[in-house]
Amino acid sequence: MARPRQFDEEQVIRAVRDQFWDAGYAATSLEDLVRVSGLGKGSLYGAFGDKHRLFLKALREYTDTSGGYLREMLASAPRAVDALRAFVMAPVNDPGGAAARRGCLMANSTYELATSDPDVLAEARRTYEATTALVAESVGRAQDEGDLPRDVNPVEMARALLAAQQGLVFMGRTGLDIDTLTATARTLAVKLLPDA
């Protein structure tokens, strides 16, 4: 009979997720994963498989959690257009700029691995299509509320907003100062989502 696990799986996944997020996949060693998880090599791989499977599990946990936060944020806003503006401005929410420099784990992983890892490419497509669908729902709601024109295609607008937001994520990773990045985000929000 197998022994029950003596560790908190969610805590381990969060710890390795943060390691991958901070260092990237290629720069994260087995020793790094053992150190941050607090598990031995055998226990870590016995529970989660190899480095690649552990990475994919951490990435899926991140994207599912982020998707839940996005769904809640978009649905809870009194006006959909305000939620859409907040979505575009999200990469500059940290006044010190640390979050902008850290970026988004999914975006960072896409940049690093999507051309060489079909599993990461599939996760990126799944995530960005799910995000597009959520944002498109809010675009439709903003149209119903009279804040966006009816002739705007909700899916095309959602992709444009996602591209703008991910462009800000990328620019934040370059170390662009937070004031310049924030001004850029405001310009994008004003141009893409003008006041009615």
**pLDDT tens by residue, 149-189:** 999 999 999 999 999 999 999 999 999 999 999 999 999 99
Amino acid, single-letter form, for residue 99: A
pLDDT in tens, 91-142: 999 999 999 999 999 999 999 999 999 999 999 999 999 999 999 999 999 9
| pTM: predicted TM-score of the whole model, two decimal places | 0.91
Q: How far is CA 56 from CA 63, 96, 99, 151, in A?
A: 10, 30, 22, 39
pLDDT in tens, 15-47: 999 999 999 999 999 999 999 999 989 889 889
pLDDT at 6: 74
Tell me 92's DSSP state. Answer: G
Q: Is 61 a residue whose pLDDT tops 60?
A: yes
- Cα(170)–Cα(184) distance, rounded to whole angstroms? 12
Catalogue all structural domains in the chain, each as residue range(s) with its CATH number: 58-192 (1.10.357.10)
